[in-house]
Amino acid sequence: MVKPFIIGTHNAGPFLYAGVDALKAGGSALDAVEAATRLVESNPDDSSVGLGGIPNILGVQEMDASLMCGRTLRTGAVGALKGFIHPISVARKVLEEAPHVMLVGAGAEHFARVMGCEEGSLETESSRKVYRAFVEDTFEHGGIDQSQEWVVTYARSQNLRQWYERLADKHHGTVNIQAMDENGDMASAVSTSGTALKFPGRLGDSPVIGAGNYCDNRFGAAACTGRGELAIRNSTARTIIHYMEDGLSIKEACFRAMKDIHALKSFGGMNCLALDVKGGTMSASTREDRESTYWYMDVGMRAPETRKGINVKQ
């Protein structure tokens, strides 16, 4: 029998203890991933998740998050959510209370309000500074009117692909957290503010079940960070599970999914984090310029340990 455990991407390490505390208290894998993700969302120094997330091109923070339960295959996802402190908990409410699996924008905010989710600003001095610098850099004389119209004007004046290519390289980040509880149930959580300075309404892979997140007790869990458009095009998270279902090991499944990303021959990188039914864990990255590592902590440990993933060459 595998000891209950939790894993997370590089930015989740200091917060995994909250998930372990939940598991030790008899909480479910869902409880564990939500508890740890909430702490990452509250970390003002993480500019890609929750508080302090870099805003979109209009200076508005729009959050994406999703949760999936491996026992029931129930999911909850929110996209382009504004003004709620814990997008992951709104996603949990969708999973538990909504007749739907994904809510976005004003509808998601209305739902969150009805559910009594905590409202508030996610801006920090640092996130405001990044946006101000972008505006000053882009418009020498400043003075933009925060309307949708200038985005269109801006878009027309740019080679959009080159613009996004520059962003995609520098401004990605997301948290993936997965757990297995004492019943062998698995859960997977993803939360992000998405690509910095993205177009309003842009959804990445994080709220798209099958693309940025998937979890099925029979085979395993997988989630992604990186340029979400790539994971959406390949249904990367579900594909990793499919590869394991077909008999590949967790390492082979992650390797092959990253090869599939390379095969798109597009810009931007992709990373995945996964676990399997035996408690095996793995991460993989299409990037060759930095080590692929993730964090692991089980209920018998006092502190998390880092584990090495694989870097998958073109």
Q: Does 194 bind ligand GLY (CB under 6 A)?
A: yes
- H-type alpha helices, the chain: 16-24, 29-41, 87-97, 105-114, 125-138, 148-156, 160-170, 228-234, 236-245, 250-263
Q: Which stretch binds ligand GLY (CB under 6 A): 80-88, 116-124, 189-197, 239-247?
A: 189-197
Q: Which stretch binds ligand GLY (CB under 6 A): 75-83, 204-212, 281-289, 302-310?
A: 204-212
DSSP 72-130: T--EEEEEEE-SBS-HHHHHHHHHHH-SSSEEEHHHHHHHHHHTTPPB-----HHHHHH
Q: Which is nearer to ligand GLY, 70 or 207 (CB)?
A: 207
Q: How do strand 220-226 and strand 213-216 relate by DSSP bridges?
A: antiparallel
The residue number whose beta carbon is nearest to ligand GLY equals: 204
39-67 b/e (C-beta count within 10 Å ≥ 16 → b)? bbbbbeebbbbbbbbbbbbbbebbbbbbb
Among residues 177, 191, 195, 176, which one has the least CA distance to residue 267? 195
Q: Which is nearer to ligand GLY, 47 or 174 (CB)?
A: 174
Instruction: Give me the least distance between CB of 196 and ligand GLY, in Å please.
Output: 10
Question: How many Cβ atoms sit within 10 Å of the Cβ of residue 73?
Answer: 13
Q: What DSSP designation does 209 have?
A: B
Q: Which is nearer to ligand GLY, 46 or 205 (CB)?
A: 205
Among 226, 269, 304, 309, binds ligand GLY (CB under 6 A): 226
Interaction residues for ligand GLY, span 228-247 (CB under 6 A): 228
Q: Does 192 bind ligand GLY (CB under 6 A)?
A: yes
The structure tokens 């909430």 sit at 38
Q: Which stretch binds ligand GLY (CB under 6 A): 24-32, 137-145, 176-184, 191-199?
A: 191-199
Instruction: Give me the least distance between CB of 208 and ligand GLY, in Å please.
Output: 10
Which residues are the active-site residues? 174
Q: Which stretch binds ligand GLY (CB under 6 A): 26-34, 176-184, 220-228, 284-292?
A: 220-228
Among residues 161, 198, 122, 253, which one has the least CA distance to residue 206? 198
Among 38, 82, 227, 238, binds ligand GLY (CB under 6 A): 227
Among 176, 225, 234, 236, binds ligand GLY (CB under 6 A): 225
**Helix and strand tally (H, E) in the chain?**
10, 13
Among 89, 174, 191, 311, binds ligand GLY (CB under 6 A): 174
Q: Which stretch binds ligand GLY (CB under 6 A): 29-37, 96-104, 226-234, 295-303?
A: 226-234
Give the orientation angle of helix 16-24 with respect to helix 29-41, to 10 degrees.
150
Q: Which is nearer to ligand GLY, 240 or 277 (CB)?
A: 240
Q: Which is nearer to ligand GLY, 202 or 256 (CB)?
A: 202
Q: Which is nearer to ligand GLY, 23 or 272 (CB)?
A: 272
Q: How do strand 102-104 and strand 75-81 relate by DSSP bridges?
A: parallel
Q: Does 283 bind ligand GLY (CB under 6 A)?
A: no
> Residues interacting with ligand GLY, by CB under 6 A?
174, 192, 194-195, 204-206, 212, 225-228
